Amino acid sequence: MKLEQLNFHHLFYFWRVARTRHLTRTAQELHTSQSALSAQIRQLEDRLGEALFAREGRRLALTETGQMVLAYAENIFGLGQEMLGRLQGRTEGLERLRVGGVSTLSRNYKENWIRPLLADPSVTLTLESGTLEYLLERLLQHQLDVVLANEAVPADAERPLHCRFLGSQAISLMGPTAVWAGRTLRVPEDLDGLDVALPGPRHALRGQFDALCMAADVKPRVRAEVDDMAMLRLIARDSGWLTVLPEVVVQDELRAGHLTVLGQSSQLHENFYAITTLHRHRLERLERLLGSSSRESSFQRAPPPDAGQGVPRQSDPVGPAASP
């Protein structure tokens, strides 16, 4: 069989059914009949000379050949989606960069990372937030160009991804300056019985913190568990409780002197990663951004407006620098 004999319309229908494993649902999505959809797939199987699906009860299962064809179809139509994404805005002289960020990652960090692009009039940005798995699926479908995450993605032949380490930052214990100015606390030894707000169980650093407390036989009073870093920032600012989080999350409150750092643990840190597909179309601006992120070694914030307010020294290294 030659390439020109392959009907890509039939392959598209196969691809859509293979992803849902459901003929009726796919037919509804494509606004066609189930019988027409089945006929298209049978024609593709006839051309290829092998079955692509096998029935398992009421569900469709991919044959070994079907799994191989699906892998190629994912690349073919994924690249088609990427092409359409690339073309959006080009008629106006713009280049679109599509960035996903896990919802447990600080929005301040995301903004700091894309900051070099905000002043570029030739770039238009698409920013998405969600769980890591959801964003990776979008990335593999070529609907995102890069995903920012706070946990690494292991190498997997089924998911050809490249995970680039951007940097890390120590996790700090924060408290309201009006109460805690000039004081320090050991982490976690001095937290027994104290009111704390913590990142939720899904956050990468929560397991580290819980393990430290268990090893030290320390039991803080957990008053809030918050997955969304923007909400945890508000709680840190307004609740009066202690919080454990990266300084980048509350960089503005530290500058303004509303919060102060009471202590850190060398065993607590958050890592930052940029995840891309191995076979993506190279975008010059994204390559420059990834390169500069790798070279940056410090997260800077402005010095405290009043040293007497107890705002601490600069934080530990992290990826891109915060804005002045």
What is the number of helices (H) and of strands (E) in the chain?
A: 11, 10
Residues 6 or more apart from 162 whose CB is under 8 A from it?
Answer: 275, 276, 277, 278
pLDDT at 185 (0 to 100) = 95
Whether 3-78 shares its CATH topology with 167-270+296-309 is answered: no
CATH topology of domain 167-270+296-309: D-Maltodextrin-Binding Protein; domain 2 (3.40.190)
pLDDT at 81: 72
Cβ 296 vs Cβ 91: under 8 Å: no
- Tell me the one-letter amino acid at 248: V
Among 275, 272, 277, 249, which residue's Cα sits nearest to residue 261? 249
Query: What is residue 302's predicted lDDT score, i.e. its pLDDT?
Result: 33
| pLDDT recorded at residue 303 | 34
Global pTM reads 0.64
Divide the 324 residues of the chain into consecutive groups of 10 and give the mean pLDDT of each group: 80 89 88 90 90 83 89 80 64 74 88 89 88 91 89 81 90 93 94 95 88 95 91 90 90 93 90 84 80 53 33 36 34
Q: What is the pLDDT of residue 311?
A: 32
Architecture of domain 3-78: Orthogonal Bundle (1.10)
The rounded distance, in Å, linking the Cα atoms of 171 and 107 is: 16
Helices marked H in 141-218: 177-180, 204-215
List, as one string, the DSSP characters of 138-194.
Answer: HHHTTS-SEEEESS----BTTB-EEEEEEEEEEEEEEEEHHHHTT----TTGGGTT-
Cross-strand bridge partners of residue 163: 275
Would you list the domain boundaries of the chain? 3-78, 167-270+296-309
The strand pairing partners of 4, in sequence order, are none
- pLDDT for the residue 279: 63
End-to-end CA distance of the chain: 61
Beta carbons of 308 and 181 less than 8 angstroms apart: yes
Spatial separation of the C-alpha atoms in residues 37 and 18, rounded to whole Å: 12
Nearest residue to 174 via CA among 216, 105, 106, 234:
234
